[in-house]
Amino acid sequence: MEEKKFDLNSIIGFVLIFGILIWIMYQNQPSDKEIAAEKAKKELVAKQEAQAKTDKTKTAVLPVAAVTPGDTVQLAQLQKTLGGFAYSATLPSAKESFTTIENEKMILKIANKGGYIVEAKLKEFERFEKGSKQLVELIKDNNANLNIQLQTTDNRTLNSKDLFFEPTLTKVGADQILSMRLKAGANEFLEYKYILKPNEYLVGFDIRSQGLNKVLNSSKPLDLQWDLKSYRNEKSVSIEKRYAQLEYEYDDEKYSSVNHGEGKEDTPEKVSYIAFKQHFFTAILATDKPFEKSKLQSDDLVKDENIDTTFIKQFKATVPLAFTNGEVDYKMSWYFGPSDYKTLKSYDKNFQKIIPLGWGIFGWINQWIFIPLFGFLSSYIAYGIAIIIFTIIIKLAMSPITYKSFLSQAKMKVLRPEITELGEKFKKDPMKKQQETMKLYNKAGVNPMAGCIPALIQLPFMYASFQFFPSAFELRQKSFLWADDLSSFDAVVKLPFHIPLYGDHISLFPILAAIAIFFYMKMTSGDQQMAAPQQEGMPDMAKMMKIMIYVSPLMMLIFFNSYGAGLSLYNFISNLITIGIMFVIKNYIVDTDKIHAQIQENKLKEPKKQSKFQQRLQEVMEQQEATKAQNKKK
């Protein structure tokens, strides 16, 4: 075993280390001035708290107290410690307290710490558990944050969400004005001002600074950060996820949205408003002075749509607040309310653009036809009946187009034997067959495209309905027959298991719509097969139609099972009316014998000059045949 020896170097090392530690502790002990400042701070806070208890005014805090000469050392020390924003720490508001403002539409709760809204509750709307009396809350339980990163002149970063604001609530007429001030001194502060008017979803929100040009570094803008996790407020998780979106207006009324998915991000310039949109409710931050460049992020929080969930999306926005002459001054506003087209449009800020009405002609149909017509009907009658009458009006307005389409099919049906005969006669010469077929059409006065054009005209109206009904806020929690909510699925049976693509319930209106479209296709398939001549190289039309008769209703059944009952009701009534119109046209309006006689009469007349379309079509066919002949020679 090695013998232990006395190590002088180790002893000297330990002595030196001990001495250094004693020196560090001595150097870091508070000075007499610092001890006095801390004592003065505690005495001042105790004095103000005692005063606050005896103050019987309705304001949230005491008026701002002037700084006495005795507080100079204490204030200077606090400013040195917290970068100039410590004056608020000496006020009674420097505690976890809240100020509530409300009107007929909503209740807003604003915290002293951070100065932002920690609760936004809508008085007129309940969550999807109808009858539970649980109001819709867009903000609660720390699902939202508002923060400004303050860059001080001594290169430090402070977050406004961690600092205490002083609230002062006043009334001007019927308006409630809440001033939240983050103080750096008696007359130096950063202010949030909330202005709530009666019967409004829009809240004025001003941000301004005063006397902070010596405290803040104004060489670059302040970063305003706003984030929110959207609560689930509707019955269908999948539908709410589909329609929850981060929308924004930028660059002089241009409009866009951040794509769905995880980690999606946009960086638009000159943003005038940012909307954290749910399916039927929205939180919007709008500004009179556009943000120069913004960073907008959206993340999906629903990993499995079949599992009950609390949050749907995570929205984040970072926008710059530019300095003007060393100060910040922005006139902004919050909107907390329904995603209702008329309500949003009433504020004249283009908020209605967040409603997904479709692009181009689809949006025009919704904006100028569907919304005004349905709004008029629903203001006088129940919503379910309004959908039925609305559908009848639309289908009757489209009936002349339906008639034109059926008439074209009837003419093609009359010509079918002659077209078949031409096919047999020129079986070995496709080019000649096409030329003779076009001559027959021209001579008989029949346009083979006449049946397609009316169908194409009806398509925009059909697509517009797919956009209108899922976005119609009026249908939310409105019942009809067995459907307790026309904006959501009308489940009549709850399944104990989940069927892929279909769901865990059975909705009745989609079944009725699928049955109606089945009979409609069954009714029209025979006429379409008779009207359309079989072309070489094309699959058997009869087989295709038979397949579509069964595939189309099945697709509708699956697709609409989780959609709103209002859309399924519309499609059910629409198909029923179409069947009725086709029955009347076929049996009481269109006379096949008269059509045949008219065609024969047209053949005796001098053929009409071919239209430019027919000429172009014939040229294309001739070019194709010439190309085929040339390839065969090679």
SS (H, E, C) 286-305: EEEEEEEECEEEEEECCCCC
Contacts of 359 (CB under 8 A, 6+ apart): none
* pLDDT score at 568: 92
* Cα distances (angstroms) measured from residue 594 to each of 125, 138, 402, 591: 60, 65, 19, 5
DSSP-based three-state secondary structure for 556 = helix
For residue 606, give the amino acid letter. Answer: E
* C-alpha–C-alpha distance, residues 590 and 409, integer Å: 11
* C-alpha–C-alpha distance, residues 355 and 470, integer Å: 10
* pLDDT score at 290: 93
List beta partners, residue 108.
Answer: 101, 120
Residue appearing with tokens 């959908």: 387
HEC readout, 389-412 = HHHHHHHHHHHHHHHHHHHHHHHH
Residue appearing with tokens 């517009």: 464
Residue appearing with tokens 């103000």: 48
Report whether 82 contacts 89 (CB < 8 A). Answer: yes
* C-alpha–C-alpha distance, residues 508 and 491, integer Å: 7
* pLDDT score at 69: 34
* C-alpha–C-alpha distance, residues 114 and 118, integer Å: 10
* C-alpha–C-alpha distance, residues 278 and 145, integer Å: 17
| Residue 534 DSSP code | -
For residue 474, give the amino acid letter. Answer: E
* pLDDT score at 390: 95
The residues of the chain scoring below 50 in pLDDT are 1-6, 37, 45, 52-81, 529-532, 535-539
- For 251, left (φ over 0), alpha (ψ -120 to 50), or beta? left
The structure tokens listed for 294 are 């913004």
Contacts of 382 (CB under 8 A, 6+ apart): 478, 480
Picking from 196, 197, 163, 203, the residue whose alpha carbon sits closest to that of residue 181 is: 163
* pLDDT score at 25: 56
Total residue count of the chain as it appears in this document:
634
Contacts of 184 (CB under 8 A, 6+ apart): 79, 84, 85, 86, 87, 190, 211, 212, 215
* pLDDT score at 246: 93
For residue 269, give the amino acid letter. Answer: E
* pLDDT score at 33: 52
* Cα distances (angstroms) measured from residue 12 to each of 16, 205, 253: 6, 66, 76
Picking from 472, 437, 501, the residue whose alpha carbon sits closest to that of residue 357 is: 472
Picking from 72, 53, 55, the residue whose alpha carbon sits closest to that of residue 63 is: 55
